[in-house]
Structure 1
Amino acid sequence: MKKLSVFAQGVLLAALLISPASALTVPERLVYDVNWSGMKAGAAVLEVTEQGGDLRLTNTIRSTGLVSAFFKIDDRTESVITRAGRPKFFRENKKEGSYRARREATFDFTKLRADSVDLLKKIEKTDPITAKTYDNLSSIYFIRSIDLVPGQSIYFDIYDTKRLWNSEVRVVKRQVITTPLGKFKTVMVTSQLKHKGEIAKVGNATFWFTEDSRRIPVRITTKLKVGEITLTLVGGTP
C-alpha cells in the first residue's frame, strides 16, 4: 500500500511538444473510488484550476475505512503547467503509514534540466531532462490532448524528482466499460516505464479514457508490489 499514489507514474504519452492544455475544461474536478485488490481503499480527486496565465493540476489520495485503520494514506501532488502544457513546477507531499516524503522540482526547458529538492532529507540536485519530459501528474493531462488511435505506440519521459523514466505508451483498443456512473465508450491505453532499459517493478498502468474530445480517465489500474490498485470515476464537476 506504500505506493498507492504510484498510478500517477504510469502515465502517458509523448512527443517533442505537448498539444495545448487549453483544450481542458477549466475548472475541472474528477472524483474516484480507490480499490486495492477488490477492497475499498480510499478516494482520489484530480483537479484543474487556473493560476495566473498557467494551470494548476492537483491530485489528492486519502485512505478510508479498514485500510485507513491499519495503513493511513494522505497524499497530495501538484503540478503547474504552461498553457502549452509543459511542466514548470512539481510538488509531492506523501504520508503513507510511517512513510513521509516531501519533494519539489522546477523544470528548465531552455537548459534541459530539472532542479529538485528533497525537503525532508535536505538534498538538492540537478538532473538532465529531455524536451519531451513531464512530471507524474502533468503527463496525465498530456494524454487528454492527444488523438488516440488504436495501434499507436508513443514515447516520452517522466521525471519524478529521483530519476528520469522512459515511458512507452500503447493505444490498445476501443472498449465499452461500465462504472457507477453508467456505460462509457473508451479507449484503452497501457504504459510501461523503464530506466536504463530495466522495466519498473511498480507503476506500469492501464487507462480507459472516454472516446470523446475530453478524454476523461474513467478507470485506471496499476500493478503494485502486492496486489493491484484500481481507480474508478464516481463523480465530479467537469
Structure 2
Amino acid sequence: MENTFLSKITIVLSIWFFAAGSVSADMNNEASCKRVNETFRVGETVNYTVYYHWGAVWMRAGEVEFEVKDSKINGKDVLHVVASGRTIRRYDWFFKVRDVYETYIQPETMMPLRFKRDIYEGGYTIFSDYKFDRNNNKVAVEHEDWKTPRYKDTLEIGDCTQDVLSAIYYARTLDFEGVSIGDTIGLEIFLEDKLYNVYIRYLGKERIRTEHGRYNCIKFSALLLEGTVFEGGEDMMVWVTDDENRIPVLIEAPIKVGSIKAILTDAKGTAKPIDYSSGRRR
C-alpha cells in the first residue's frame, strides 16, 4: 500500500468507523451491508491537525479536511465526499504535500460508485480513478503514478467492499448496539488494485483530554496487517465522540518510521448537534 500522507489518515479513520457497527453484522452479505443514512448530511465539514512523531519530538505537520457535498452520477443524486490533506506551508520547501481523495456514494445503499485520488507528495504523484459496478461486483480501475504509466483494468470485489474514504461514512450509519469490550470485527477495503482485510477491537469508553478540551469517548484499537503503511500488531488507538455523530477526536498510529497523531479541531454542519459539554469549541 502506498505510503502517502492522506492514505495514512483515511485508513486510520475508516478502520475506526467500521468498529462502530454491530459485531453481529455480516459485512460480506449484500442485504446486510446496505444502509440508510441518518447520521450525516450535505454540508458537514470536519477538520484535523496532523502531528508527526520522530524521536522525542511531536511536530505539527499538516491539516486534513473532510467535506460532504451533493453531486450526480448518470443523472442520479449521490453524496460526494472530498478529503484534502496538505502539509503546513513552512514545511513545503522540505516535503510539499497536496492530496485530494474523493468518493461518490449511492445514498440509498451507502455503497461507493466512484473513487478518485490525486496525490502530490514531494514531487511524487499518484492518480487513481475507480468506477464500481455494484450489480456485477466489479471495479474498473484507471491508475498512473511517478513510476507506472497510465493503465486500465477491471477487477472483482465483494458485495460490501468499500473504498478507503467511503468506508468512513458508511460505517457511521451502522448500529452500535451489541458491541462488547474485546469484540473484534473484520472489514474489506479496495485500494491500489487489491482487497485489504483489517481488524479492529472495541476497548470500551474513556474520557480524554486534548488541547481543545475534554471529551467522552469510545476507544478502539486496530489490528493491522503487516506490510501496509503500518506495522503489524494492535498498536493503533482511536478515541471517538460518544454521541450519534461518531466523530473521531484523537487518532494515534505507528507508521514505518515514527508515528502520527490526528486531533479534531472543528466540526460544522453535522446532522445532529455536537455535545460540547464534554469538550469546548475553540
Instruction: Give the structure-2-normalised TM-score.
Output: 0.76
Distance 1:49 1:180, change over 3 A: farther
Q: Which residue of 1 aligns with 2:256?
A: 225
Unaligned runs of 5+ in 1: none
In 1, distance between residues paired with 2:215 and 2:223?
24
**C-alpha separation in 2, matches of 1:69 and 1:91:** 27
Conserved in 2, the CA contact under 8 Å of 1:18 and 1:142? no
2:69 to 35, 49, 60: 49
Aligned to 1:28: 44
What code does the residue aligned with 2:97 have?
Answer: I
1:108 lines up with 2:110 in the alignment:
no
Partner of 2:187: 156
Indicate conservation of the 8 Å contact 1:7/1:203, yes or no. no
Aligned to 1:202: 229
Partners of 2:125 and 2:60 in 1: how far apart?
23
Q: Distance in 2 between matches of 1:163 and 1:217?
A: 26
1:7 aligned partner: 9
Cα offset, 1:66, TM superposition: 4.2
Residue 206 to residue 90, structure 1, CA distance change in 2 (3 Å): farther
Look up the match of 1:39.
Answer: 59
* Alpha-carbon offset, residue 94 of structure 1: 0.6
Aligned counterparts of 1:163 and 1:140: Cα–Cα separation in 2: 18
Give how far 1:168 is off. 1.4
The 5 Å alignment of 1:68-217 reads 68-83=92-107, 84-120=109-145, 121-148=149-176, 149=179, 150-194=181-225, 199-203=226-230, 205-217=236-248
Q: Which runs of 4 or more aligned residues in structure 1 lie more than 4 Å from their structure 2 counterparts after TM superposition?
A: none
User: Cα–Cα, structure 1 residues 131 and 191, in superposed 2: closer, same or farther, change >3 Å?
Assistant: farther
Tell me how far 1:159 sits from its aligned partner. 0.4
Per-residue deviation, residues 43-63 of structure 1 (Å, max 9, x unmatched): 110111222421111111110
TM-score for both structures, normalised by structure 1: 0.89
Residue by residue, what CA displacement relative to the aligned partner does 1:27-71 show, whole Å, maximum 9, x if unpaired? 100111110011000111011122242111111111014432311
The answer to whether the 8 Å contact 1:41/1:65 transfers is no
Root mean square deviation of aligned Cα: 2.1
Structure 1 residue 193: Cα displacement: 4.1
Q: CA offsets, 1:140-181, max 9 Å, x none?
A: 112322334333322221001321101212222211122233
